[in-house]
Structure 1
Amino acid sequence: MPENLTIVVTGDICINRLLWITDPQNAKGLNWQTHENIHSALLPGEALLLTKLVALSTRAAILAPQITDMPDVSLTEFLSSTAELGLFPETADKPKGNKKYRVSRFLGFTGPATGQPKLLPVENDNADADMVIIDDENNGFNSNRNYWPLALTTPGKTPIVLYKMNNPIDTNALWQNLAKHHMNNTIVIINADDLRAKGVNISKSLSWEKTAQDFVWQINNSPSLAFLANCRHLIIPFGLEGAIYYRNEGSKESYLYFLPYAFEGGSVKDSQGRMSGLTSCFVAGLARSIASGYAHREELPFSIGDGIRTGIVAAQKFFLTGFGNPVQADRFPSPAIFSEWEKDFVSKEDVQDVIIRISANADCQSCWYILKDKSSANLAEIAYSIVKNGVKQALKFIPIAQFGKLQTVDRTEIESYRSINNLMSEYIAAVNTVRPLCIAVFGTPGSGKSFGVTEIAASIAPALIRKLNFNLSQLRSPLELINAFHKVRDISLEGKIPLVFFDEFDSAFEGKLGWLKYFLAPMQDGVFRERDSLHPIGKAIFVFAGGTSSTFEEFCGGDISDEQEQKYFLQEFKGAKGPDFLSRLRGYVNILGPNQTDQQQDQLFIIRRAMLLRSLLETKVPQLINDNDEAQIDNGILRALLKIPRYKHESRSMEAILEMSMLNHAKKWEQSYLPSKEQLKMHVDEEQFLRHLMHDAFFSEKIDGISLALHEKLLSLTKDQPEIDAWLRRPWAELDEDIKNAFRNQAKRIPNVLLKINYDVVSVKETPEAIEFTDKELAMLAPVEHKLWCKQQKAAGWRYGPHKDRQQKTDPALVAWEALTEEKRKQMIQMIRIWPEVLVKANFKIERLKFLCHCEAMML
């Protein structure tokens, strides 16, 4: 950290008054010692706390307002806040472990008896300060120029300014001064919840993609944020788990920084209490990196990126340490917050970043997946890695949502599940609720409709939830439904919360959707009628699982394109009380099973399959997972299970194939252990499955034929190029074996190279039609093919040389793609262009992988 760097920290002043209770000191002492004891302490808040944090983070001498004797400070002049502390678990996963004091209840602010809260000047202020850090809590500092640091009021000074802003408006005097004189060097930090409090609609805790895209839309379109859109550097922290860096230096770019294993607010549970000063700790971490970068003349955006990582880690550790145990005012905050240790539960390397993508096509906003941007691999390669190496290893840089045993990386599923999670959390925490929480779940049979919702409920309140299941297609009269409500009520009277699944609620009864009308009163009023009596149901969660409709849109008729047909449907739907039923629902989720639901939008079905298969291997045949956590499974089986177009009974089919295989004593899932062709037919198209299974064998058998065709095509393409070596122009049968192997290696590389542009090579019975690569596709394929060729050549002992020499194994083409001659690049592109024609003759079809979205396909 630079020794001569001058940092000024100032802003609003607040004194934090903390109260906490301890057990009696003893049972036999003075009377007061036998009762609970109340303790109090005065700690610095707002700019005073930020000063201490910046001093710890930068280890520099800070110029700032000072209160030398905090215990004797007069609270009649200053603004103060009062909070009650309690002992909370250090971490949520160890509720009985070490405990720390944190805020259990914020009691409010106390202002001075008369006038405005007292502000303090910067002691030994210096107009030549290199950095100014401001804590503007909208408590008077931003309108009182007399207390602003000299570096902001002296003409011609250009310090780096970190402006922590609580009230995002452009009318205060301080903002106008910064906007006029210091905007180029000002970094604005506003907590996401402060933006939301001003009516800025940014989703919370659904998915990082959704939150990020909401922010970008708001900053570009919201009139209330127009003044912030002009910031050169704007940082929005999202809880302890992420932040967005908006940069506007000629062109606008936004970057998301996030912890993959947590969503906004997800790393802190209610059972852990709260902490004030988290954003101040983030700013102190940011200041640390910017100060270091300033000394080393780093570009400011680079320092900001590193600072966001430092800030996220520091805020996490600040929360973890709390106020300590016991509370020691003179040791707060802890210096350990800004130290790095191997045992730390979070580090800067854990914080990932990605540029936020916004498509010009409004229909493709939901097409952006961090998973695809954070991995250079194709989705199929990621899927193989998930099964082979496990979810954590394959997806360690990707946002993962987990609820109990349920894991998902699919953005659509994450947003749906988290919506349900948020609804359930609020409902379970609420008191005096008089009606059930009603949600609907749709999906094809076998997609796992009940599993996901059950895991969410269990992850929120496992001791409170008790599950019940009723299949309405098996009920014969409303009386049986009344009996079901009685069972629900009994559980509620026990003090538990019944989680009630009404399976196939959309089945016919006395006509289409006949059961709906019997749920309207219980859903709306929380009561059911039995003869002349009304019975309250109590607190309960009703889950309506669709049986005839696989999506919410299908249930509502939203997928009907014919106008007359839709009109008839809506009349029938209204007659069955469908709109009344929908109005009582508070949420819904479409469960995505292992089958692809939509060729345009459902990109990640292969990832869902991989995660399901890995889970099945771990739970049902754990002996196939070795000590290195690697799954022992034949590549052909893995390809077939992941690439088969459709499972007839969704996840049940995948599970059935595993259970029908002879794996009880196996150490590896070999092809010989698979069930018979007739048994496979029950769950998949057995012909397609076997062709995927034998794909590698089919391709290996035809390698020589493909290699021969490649050689012939090369001769045809280069017949007018006399510089081509004579030893390459011989007939295939007369070629040296090392030259034949070079063509064989090229043939073997083709499937892997094509995966880079989302193409797959599929064995087919009939001779398919050859496709044509676009110029963009060729421009993407050629560098990949060249890189792999170089790697194989070097492995075989070849090295760069100015001339090609087979004896010395030197080749001038063993350079980076950009360094190749134009002629060599054209020659390689010509060779790749003929791949489809060569493969077609060997009965291999090149087809687009179906998990590309429309907007990505248009880019190729």
Structure 2
Amino acid sequence: MNDRNFKIVVSGDICINSLQWITEPKSSKGLNWQTHLNMHSALKPGESLLLAKLVALATGTSVISPQIEDIESNLSKEILRSTAELELFSVHGSGKNKDKVYRVKRFLGFTGPVSGMPKLLPIVDDNINADIVIIDDENNGFNSNKDFWPLAIKSIEKSPIVLYKMNNPIGSNALWKHLEKFHIDKTIVVINSDDLRSKGVNISKSISWEKTAQDFVWQVNNNPNLAFLVDCHHLIVPFGLEGAIYCTNKGKTESQLYFLPSEFEGESLKETQGKMYGLTSCFVAGLARSIALENSNNEDLSISIGEGIREGIVAAHKYFINGFGRDVEEYEFPNPSIFVRCKNDTLQKELVQDVKIPNLSANYYSHWYILRDKSSTNLAEIAYDIVKNGVKSALKFIPIAQFGNLQTVDRTEIESYRGIKNLMCEYISKKNTVRPLCIAVFGTPGSGKSFGVTEVAASIAPGLIEKLNFNLSQFRTLLDLISAFHRVRDLSLEGKIPLVFFDEFDSAFEGKLGWLKYFLAPMQDGTFREGDSIHPIGKAIFVFAGGTSTTFREFCGEDIKDENDNKKFLLEFKAAKGPDFISRLRGYVDILGPNQTDPQWDQLFIIRRAMLLRSLLERKVPHLISDDGKAQIDNGVLRAMLKIPRYKHESRSMEAILEMSMLTNSRKWEQSDLPSREQLRLHVDEEQFLRHLMHDAFFSEKIESLAKAIHERYRMLNSDLDPDFIVPWEELSEDLKDSNRDEAKNIPNCLRKINYDLVSVNGNPSFIEFTQKELEILAENKHMHRYRYRKDDDWKYGRVKDHKKKTDPALVHWESLPEEKKNKTYEMVKVWPEILAKANFKLERVKSLNTYDY
């Protein structure tokens, strides 16, 4: 931006950051001090002084602000000082790149004035006509000292855009009351999410973007600590370096989530990468860049804020990556490159996605998926794309959680696995822990209970955690369990953290749930008894995998509806020490697997199948993945693997079908490579599987009969037309027959627009009637398909329909089609379910992601 008439004022609390770092001796010769570790220090601007420099770099303007010409010479003891210890850290968290930069190892604290408030500085050449005022309020005195406020906001006659970076989110300070009274329309409040949490605002962290977003919406609407923001027109809350929420209130509150699909809050900053101060300030500078640019062109403020959030997220990333450079004394800080777009940047602005946060009722709180709102296609098409082109290609704009080899986009699984990961991370980092971390995992046999938790653990500490497996249904006496505890203890004494799977822990032993009571002491005290001896187990992670219960609710009896049955279960559960066992658990996961768990809520099962199938192809038969990442798989095989209603043994069945197929020397997974019907019967309903497999062939066989049926319907509706068009099928020209065949072939594509799929069945099924809205969508699609077909066949618009001259008065876009023609198109479409049923095809509803099915 080079508009010299655009004026920006930056002010706020003042702080100087004192940086300290140590370097190795440069030589073994010379003066004595040169042969020892060298201690370095430097003074850098902080708070509003740093923010002013960042805004100047971001906007390219000469920012009006407080100034200290020479920090080293003119630093007053009355000015607040922050001290931080620096160290060299890897530029990127992977550690693959050997390049290192200085970042903060630890913050050592503040040095304040001997008495009174920290010193504030006046704005040099303040301008009452400022277009943008940016305030850094760190709650160190500026918000209560009106003498230092910018003239543009002290004047009630001016209306600048105000960017208010608020560190202490309370509504009692004088500055906020002034802004609320005189400048609220154009005030944009920026509050860091961790600052909100420190004030008792309960927003989940690093679980899922959906949960974080909905927690935020609930807190804004209900938390009294945020009541002072009720009239705030623009509120922005950054969530780490990975996302932000923009909340607007112009009579109606609406919230928009901006996020990085491949990251969750806090994931960009690894412990091994150090820390940086000023991240939120850099975000605000990126935001100011967009607002200044767009508003100098008189753009809508909300639009420029949205673009500014993207700018801010990218800028904060680059600011962190650059740190203080390889040489603190030589590096220009802050660096101008932060706001210069480069092709080599690890993060591009286009990768930052946004989605509107719905105000869902409590009943549907957990059923909002970003995947639903970010996709314009139905689930089946997304699933096909995942298998064909890979997860990252098909879902590059959707939140994906990855734990080792496990990938998931299902919100329920993401939240469960991330909850377990957070528990494990916290447990591993703690010292002197005497009891095991206990979690439970439920799911149907073959759903992948062991795989999921193992991959989560491996993603945290692959060299430290070692897995042990024990199946309690195979234990015959208590001595078997004691022997298992000894193996756990031995591994712990070796310095490892055992990841211990107790499979089928809910199996019978001395009665129903008989093993539970023998785990209570080890879970609570971290010890086990052998005769008169008590042995410590050591640090370990116990994973209790259900065998008879497929969900946590089922294990607890929460799904039992009958009152008498419920009472009986609770008595037995209490006698088996079930409540005591649950009280010692710290988390649980319900593994969903590739089968549908609930007809109403679980619509993402086909996505789980697709991701599992893609993973199996990559791991088991990588030669079927081409160099450009495309899976070589027949459409019929793909359809059958994804659309079969149920796998008898969940993921094991999917894997078995792949392994039984003859693919060693194949270049593509063809239908002929599949196992025999008898082998398929072990894992699926082979009749249903083969019908899905042969769907395209079945439909191709019916094209001719469907085309005839379409033509007969056309004849009935258009008896007044040229005889050339309404003759019986046998007398129709080949060109017109082909036109009808093409329309028949297009029926499945049209049906997918209203989320219907065709399923081949035995016999003639009953058929449905389309709703008016569905008819309108189908009719428009049918007409436009015919329009394009005829255009390609050199037809053109004409006032009279003439087959020889290839003219047609209906060869116009749908919007221009006369109502009479539209009505006839509706009538043509209405007959589709009937003619399809006669051809042994049933219409089956498939779930769409862009509509809520509540």
Q: TM-score, normalised by structure 2?
A: 0.97
Q: Counterpart in 2 of 1:631?
A: 631
Q: Does 1:748 align with 2:749?
A: no
Q: Does 1:561 align with 2:550?
A: no
- What's the secondary structure of 1:244's corresponding residue? strand
Cα distance in 2 for residues equivalent to 1:784 and 1:550: 44
Q: Counterpart in 1 of 2:512?
A: 512
Whether the 8 Å contact between 2:189 and 2:236 is mirrored in structure 1 is: yes
CA RMSD in angstroms, aligned pairs only: 1.8
When residues 97 and 805 of structure 1 are mapped into structure 2, their CA distance, relative to the original with a 3 A threshold, is farther
Q: Counterpart in 2 of 1:856?
A: 852
The one-letter amino acid of 1:245's match is Y
Greater alpha carbon shift after TM alignment, 494-503 vs 742-751: 742-751
Whether the 8 Å contact between 2:379 and 2:848 is mirrored in structure 1 is: no
Cα distance in 1 for residues equivalent to 2:370 and 2:850: 17
Q: Counterpart in 1 of 2:726?
A: 729
Map 1:441-840 → 2, pairs under 5 A? 441-719=441-719, 722=720, 724-798=721-795, 806=803, 809=806, 811=808, 813-840=810-837
Cα deviation for residue 815 of structure 1 reads: 4.8
When residues 526 and 762 of structure 1 are mapped into structure 2, their CA distance, relative to the original with a 3 A threshold, is same
Cα deviation for residue 456 of structure 1 reads: 0.9
Q: Does 1:214 align with 2:210?
A: no
Whether the 8 Å contact between 1:636 and 1:671 is mirrored in structure 2 is: yes
Whether the 8 Å contact between 2:372 and 2:851 is mirrored in structure 1 is: no
Cα distance in 2 for residues equivalent to 1:354 and 1:813: 40
The one-letter amino acid of 2:507's match is S
Cα distance in 1 for residues equivalent to 2:114 and 2:781: 73
- What's the secondary structure of 2:55's corresponding residue? helix
Whether the 8 Å contact between 1:625 and 1:632 is mirrored in structure 2 is: yes
Cα distance in 2 for residues equivalent to 1:170 and 1:507: 57
Cα deviation for residue 805 of structure 1 reads: 5.5
Q: Does 1:273 align with 2:274?
A: yes
The one-letter amino acid of 1:81's match is S
Cα deviation for residue 620 of structure 1 reads: 1.1
Cα distance in 1 for residues equivalent to 2:808 and 2:243: 49
Whether the 8 Å contact between 2:104 and 2:275 is mirrored in structure 1 is: yes
When residues 806 and 191 of structure 1 are mapped into structure 2, their CA distance, relative to the original with a 3 A threshold, is farther
Q: Identical aligned pairs, as a percentage?
A: 68
Whether the 8 Å contact between 1:603 and 1:853 is mirrored in structure 2 is: no
Cα deviation for residue 803 of structure 1 reads: 6.2
Whether the 8 Å contact between 1:370 and 1:398 is mirrored in structure 2 is: yes
Q: Counterpart in 2 of 1:262?
A: 263
- What's the secondary structure of 1:63's corresponding residue? coil
When residues 234 and 680 of structure 1 are mapped into structure 2, their CA distance, relative to the original with a 3 A threshold, is same
Whether the 8 Å contact between 1:766 and 1:843 is mirrored in structure 2 is: yes
Q: Counterpart in 1 of 2:289?
A: 288
Whether the 8 Å contact between 1:256 and 1:355 is mirrored in structure 2 is: yes
Cα distance in 1 for residues equivalent to 2:320 and 2:477: 56
- What's the secondary structure of 1:396's corresponding residue? coil
Alpha-carbon displacement from aligned partner over 1:40-65 (angstroms, at most 9, x marks no partner) = 11111111110010011001000001
Whether the 8 Å contact between 1:178 and 1:186 is mirrored in structure 2 is: yes
When residues 33 and 560 of structure 1 are mapped into structure 2, their CA distance, relative to the original with a 3 A threshold, is same
Cα distance in 2 for residues equivalent to 1:179 and 1:812: 62
Cα deviation for residue 698 of structure 1 reads: 0.7
When residues 16 and 696 of structure 1 are mapped into structure 2, their CA distance, relative to the original with a 3 A threshold, is same
Cα distance in 2 for residues equivalent to 1:336 and 1:696: 55
When residues 852 and 296 of structure 1 are mapped into structure 2, their CA distance, relative to the original with a 3 A threshold, is closer
When residues 799 and 577 of structure 1 are mapped into structure 2, their CA distance, relative to the original with a 3 A threshold, is farther
When residues 569 and 733 of structure 1 are mapped into structure 2, their CA distance, relative to the original with a 3 A threshold, is same
Cα distance in 2 for residues equivalent to 1:288 and 1:691: 58
Cα distance in 1 for residues equivalent to 2:650 and 2:641: 12
The one-letter amino acid of 2:498's match is P
- What's the secondary structure of 2:244's corresponding residue? strand
Cα distance in 2 for residues equivalent to 1:797 and 1:342: 45
Whether the 8 Å contact between 1:594 and 1:608 is mirrored in structure 2 is: yes
Cα deviation for residue 71 of structure 1 reads: 1.5
Alpha-carbon displacement from aligned partner over 1:193-242 (angstroms, at most 9, x marks no partner) = 11111111211111111111111122222222233232221111111011
Alpha-carbon displacement from aligned partner over 1:832-858 (angstroms, at most 9, x marks no partner) = 222111211111111222x56998345
Cα deviation for residue 781 of structure 1 reads: 3.3
When residues 182 and 791 of structure 1 are mapped into structure 2, their CA distance, relative to the original with a 3 A threshold, is farther
Q: Which of 821, 844, 847 is the aligned partner of 2:844?
A: 847
Alpha-carbon displacement from aligned partner over 1:502-547 (angstroms, at most 9, x marks no partner) = 1111111111111111111111111111112221111111111111
When residues 303 and 21 of structure 1 are mapped into structure 2, their CA distance, relative to the original with a 3 A threshold, is same
When residues 76 and 807 of structure 1 are mapped into structure 2, their CA distance, relative to the original with a 3 A threshold, is farther
- What's the secondary structure of 2:39's corresponding residue? strand
Q: Counterpart in 2 of 1:223?
A: 224
The one-letter amino acid of 1:518's match is Y
Q: Which runs of 5+ in 1 are unaligned?
A: none
- What's the secondary structure of 2:110's corresponding residue? strand
Cα distance in 1 for residues equivalent to 2:483 and 2:22: 50
The one-letter amino acid of 1:454's match is T
Cα distance in 2 for residues equivalent to 1:330 and 1:261: 31
Greater alpha carbon shift after TM alignment, 143-152 vs 330-339: 330-339
Cα deviation for residue 332 of structure 1 reads: 0.5
Aligned residues: 853
Whether the 8 Å contact between 1:8 and 1:133 is mirrored in structure 2 is: yes
- What's the secondary structure of 1:40's corresponding residue? strand
Q: Does 1:24 align with 2:21?
A: no
Cα deviation for residue 31 of structure 1 reads: 2.3
Q: Counterpart in 2 of 1:167?
A: 168
Cα distance in 2 for residues equivalent to 1:633 and 1:312: 39
When residues 494 and 95 of structure 1 are mapped into structure 2, their CA distance, relative to the original with a 3 A threshold, is farther
Q: Counterpart in 2 of 1:203?
A: 204
Cα deviation for residue 726 of structure 1 reads: 3.7
Q: Counterpart in 2 of 1:39?
A: 40
Cα deviation for residue 800 of structure 1 reads: 5.6
Whether the 8 Å contact between 1:41 and 1:329 is mirrored in structure 2 is: no
Q: TM-score, normalised by structure 1?
A: 0.96
Cα distance in 1 for residues equivalent to 2:447 and 2:246: 38
Alpha-carbon displacement from aligned partner over 1:54-112 (angstroms, at most 9, x marks no partner) = 01100100000101111124352111111111111111112561111111111112211
Q: Counterpart in 2 of 1:156?
A: 157
- What's the secondary structure of 1:728's corresponding residue? coil
Q: Counterpart in 2 of 1:249?
A: 250
